[in-house]
């Protein structure tokens, strides 16, 4: 069974943690392999760990870029909303009816 099959359906951060853990274990597996007479024992583990770590990093970069785009669009939408509110407020101030003077009668006793 290949290591990639184990990561199907696992969250990207979990895959990153497993990939980084495998990268840390490569020297240990390599030392054990040399001790038992199989010097290339860690090569499949190293390749799989590198591939999975790279996949998660690519996912992270894409997620970050998508978040930047979403925040930029939200900011633009909010700025448009504020500009519309300011324009509407200014229009109300300019079109308000002037208050006509009233006659005042002063009564003294």
pLDDT (tens digit, 9 = 90+) per residue, 56-92?
A: 788 888 888 888 898 899 999 999 999 999 999 888 8
Q: Determine the Cα–Cα distance for residues 6 and 10; give it in Å rounded to an integer.
A: 8
Lowest-confidence segment of 9-13, 21-25, 45-49 by average pLDDT = 9-13
pLDDT at residue 93, as a whole number: 80
pLDDT at residue 1, as a whole number: 43
Helix (H, G, I), strand (E, B) or coil at 10: coil
Domain boundaries, the chain: 11-94
Our CA dihedral for 29, 35, 37, 40, rounded to 10 degrees, sits at 30
* Chain length of the chain: 109
Environment class of residue 25 by beta-carbon count within 10 Å: exposed (0-12), middle (13-18) or buried (19+)? middle
Environment class of residue 70 by beta-carbon count within 10 Å: exposed (0-12), middle (13-18) or buried (19+)? exposed
Q: 96 falls in which pLDDT band (50, 70, 90)?
A: low
- Whether 18 has a pLDDT exceeding 80, the answer reads no
pLDDT 10s digits, 19-42: 677 667 767 766 776 776 766 766
């Amino acid at each position: 069974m290949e290591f990639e099959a184990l990561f199907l359906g696992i969250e990207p951060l979990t895959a990153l943690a497993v990939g980084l853990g495998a990268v840390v274990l490569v020297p240990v597996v390599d030392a054990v392999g040399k001790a038992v007479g199989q010097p290339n024992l860690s090569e499949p583990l190293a390749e799989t760990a590198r591939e999975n770590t790279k996949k998660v990093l690519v996912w992270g970069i894409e997620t970050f870029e998508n978040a930047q785009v979403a925040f930029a669009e939200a900011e633009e939408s909010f700025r448009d909303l504020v500009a519309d509110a300011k324009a509407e407020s200014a229009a109300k101030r300019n079109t308000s009816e002037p208050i006509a003077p009233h006659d005042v009668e002063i009564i003294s006793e």
